[in-house]
């Protein structure tokens, strides 16, 4: 893949759309229940249990309602991590394959979701990926620079997510040591000692938490079925190339091919430990087989054609479901939003199928590298506002009961809310009273928000239990 002018323009367009997508709905989407809401609660109480929550507190100025401030650190870390991977991989894969890798990595729903959530998952993604890549780079160029980068990335990764990073950096270097020709060089790097040293420091300082509450994904924290679903759906249009890459690497392992040994081992360990770094190795496999697909004697072309055809046919039924479901739930607006999203996804997938059958490089690149980028834009602008209304505002309205006592008093009382819906409780605590007060001031009616009970417990469960019982009394001053 030569760096011609048209490819420069195409890559530039893809990067612009990707960065634009990163900024969408950052301040529109309310907190997601679980880890993100817990981190926001720590920011509000200014009682930080991890370095991640402290950093979020600094960026948001201690305001849990500053959603952009909460999510900006993760976005910056994710983008810097992607740039670092690009620089590291240039000497491992070469310029052409690295460029394809970068385009594939940008086209991943799962990664885009991590970039938009204020949790430590995106930090683990960046640090674990850089840690593995720096180990691979050390195998090829055993210099002090890559030793330092490896130690820093591994140490920070274990600090942020102990259980997943520990398993990843104990098992994967051991596999490299056993299977690769230069694996003996890892004895001098000794990544295992770094893992043990960091764990010892955390243990004796009282900071060791095997299961981090700052993450949605990780070993022992998420179900393997959910993990498999999100990572494979994230690259759905390109899974044919991934399957071809896995089959080819499994065959080439018998011949001790270095590429297959390095990256298939990474894929297997990342899958076992539920490491988000699996997105990187998946993108490498996909990029290599997009590149190899146009070689004359490429043996897996028929399988890729079969998958792309089945994917196109299957999405036709998914599109029908989206449009009908959108109509029944949101009426005409839901139908039009489902139609816009489905039309663009299906047309670009069709372009990909044409390119695969016709061995047309431009069609394949357009279908492969624009489908997820453009449908992400449409999803954020057309579909997500409707889903957000369904996700939060209707649940909030169902949780608040307005009841007039006499002309001078209005009581807003929460009905029973599921304790798992901590993001709804957080919304009621910080958003609902303020919204009522702002509306009253706009109508030139003075209202005072008088909390009858306060949730001063730092314990998350206790905070939920107290908050379910909270009653807001608003006195109207005439």
DSSP structure class, residue 391:
I
Phi, psi angle pair for 34, to nearest 5°: 100, -130
pLDDT at residue 471 above 50?
A: no
The CA distance from 125 to 81, in Å, is 8
- What are the pLDDT digits (tens) for 65-91? 788 888 888 999 999 999 999 999 988
Instruction: Give the model's pLDDT for residue 429.
Output: 62
pLDDT in tens, 153-202: 999 999 988 899 999 999 999 999 888 888 888 888 889 999 999 999 98
Q: What is the pLDDT of residue 424?
A: 65
Count of H helices and E strands in the chain?
22, 4
d(CA 125, CA 455): 34
Supply the pLDDT for residue 2. 58
What pLDDT, on a 0 to 100 scale, did the predictor assign at position 464?
A: 32
Confidence at residue 185, expressed as pLDDT on a 0 to 100 scale: 85
Tokens of 157: 């990764």
**CB neighbours of residue 306 within 10 Å:** 11
**Residue 420 corresponds to which tokens in the numbers above?**
């798992």
What is the C-alpha separation between 335 and 121, in angstroms, rounded?
34
- For position 286, what pLDDT does the model report? 94
- How far, in Å, CA of 354 to CA of 352, rounded? 5
- At 321-330, the pLDDT tens digits run 889 988 888 8
Mark out the alpha helices in 382-459 (DSSP H runs): 384-388, 394-399, 422-430, 432-442
User: For 224-230, which contacts have Cβ atoms below 8 Å and span 24 or more sequence positions?
Assistant: 224/274, 227/274, 230/110, 230/113
Residue 425 has pLDDT above 80, yes or no: no
Tell me what the pLDDT averaged over the chain comes to: 80
What's the rounded Cα separation, in Å, for the pair 196 and 144?
A: 21
Phi, psi of 451 (to 5 degrees): -70, 125
Which band of pLDDT confidence, cut at 50, 70 and 90, is reported for residue 398?
low
pLDDT of the residue at 361: 87
User: Quick one: pLDDT at residue 430?
Assistant: 60
pLDDT grade for 256, boundaries at 50, 70 and 90: confident
Confirm if 165 and 192 have CB atoms less than 8 A apart.
no
Burial of 165 (0-12, 13-18, 19+ CB in 10 A): buried
Cα–Cα distance for residue pair 332/316, rounded to 1 Å: 20
């Amino acid at each position: 893949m030569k760096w011609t002018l048209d490819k420069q323009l195409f890559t530039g367009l893809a990067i612009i759309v990707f960065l634009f997508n990163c900024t969408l709905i950052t301040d529109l989407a309310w907190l997601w229940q679980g880890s993100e809401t817990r981190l926001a609660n720590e920011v509000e109480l200014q009682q930080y249990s991890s370095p991640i929550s402290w950093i979020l507190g600094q960026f948001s100025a201690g305001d849990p309602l500053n959603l952009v401030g909460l999510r900006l650190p993760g976005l910056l870390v994710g983008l810097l991590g992607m740039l670092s991977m690009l620089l590291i991989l240039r000497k491992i894969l070469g310029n052409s394959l690295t460029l394809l890798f970068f385009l594939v990595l940008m086209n991943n729903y799962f990664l885009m979701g991590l970039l938009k959530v204020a949790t430590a998952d995106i930090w683990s993604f960046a640090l674990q990926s850089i840690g593995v890549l720096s180990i691979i780079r050390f195998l090829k160029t055993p210099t002090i620079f890559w030793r330092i980068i490896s130690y820093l990335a591994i140490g920070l990764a274990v600090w942020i997510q102990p259980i997943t990073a520990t398993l990843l950096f104990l098992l994967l270097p051991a596999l490299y040591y056993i299977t690769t020709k230069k694996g003996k060089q890892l004895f001098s790097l000794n990544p295992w000692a770094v893992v043990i040293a960091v764990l010892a420091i955390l243990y004796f300082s009282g900071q060791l938490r095997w299961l981090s509450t700052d993450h949605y994904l990780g070993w022992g924290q998420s179900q393997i079925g959910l993990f498999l679903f999100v990572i494979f759906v994230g690259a759905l249009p390109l899974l044919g190339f991934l399957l071809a890459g896995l089959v080819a690497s499994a065959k080439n392992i018998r011949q001790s091919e270095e590429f297959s040994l390095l990256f298939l081992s990474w894929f297997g360990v990342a899958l076992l430990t539920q490491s988000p770094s699996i997105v990187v190795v998946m993108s490498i496999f996909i990029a290599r087989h997009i590149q190899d697909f146009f070689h004359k004697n490429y043996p897996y072309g028929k399988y890729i054609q079969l998958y792309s055809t089945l994917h196109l046919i299957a999405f036709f039924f998914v599109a029908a479901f989206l449009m009908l479901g959108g109509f029944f739930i949101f009426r005409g607006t839901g139908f039009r939003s489902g139609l816009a999203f489905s039309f663009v996804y299906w047309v670009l997938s069709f372009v990909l199928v044409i390119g695969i059958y016709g061995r047309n490089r431009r069609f394949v690149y357009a279908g492969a590298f624009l489908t997820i980028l453009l449908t992400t834009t449409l999803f954020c602008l057309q579909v997500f506002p409707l889903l957000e209304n369904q996700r939060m505002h209707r649940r909030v309205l169902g949780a608040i009961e307005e009841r007039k006592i006499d002309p001078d008093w209005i009581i807003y009382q929460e009905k029973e809310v599921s304790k798992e819906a901590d993001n709804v409780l957080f919304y009621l605590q910080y958003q609902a009273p303020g919204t009522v007060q702002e509306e009253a001031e706009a109508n030139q009616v003075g209202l005072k928000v008088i909390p009858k009970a306060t949730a001063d417990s730092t314990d998350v469960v206790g905070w939920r239990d107290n908050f379910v019982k909270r009653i807001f009394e608003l006195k109207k001053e005439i």
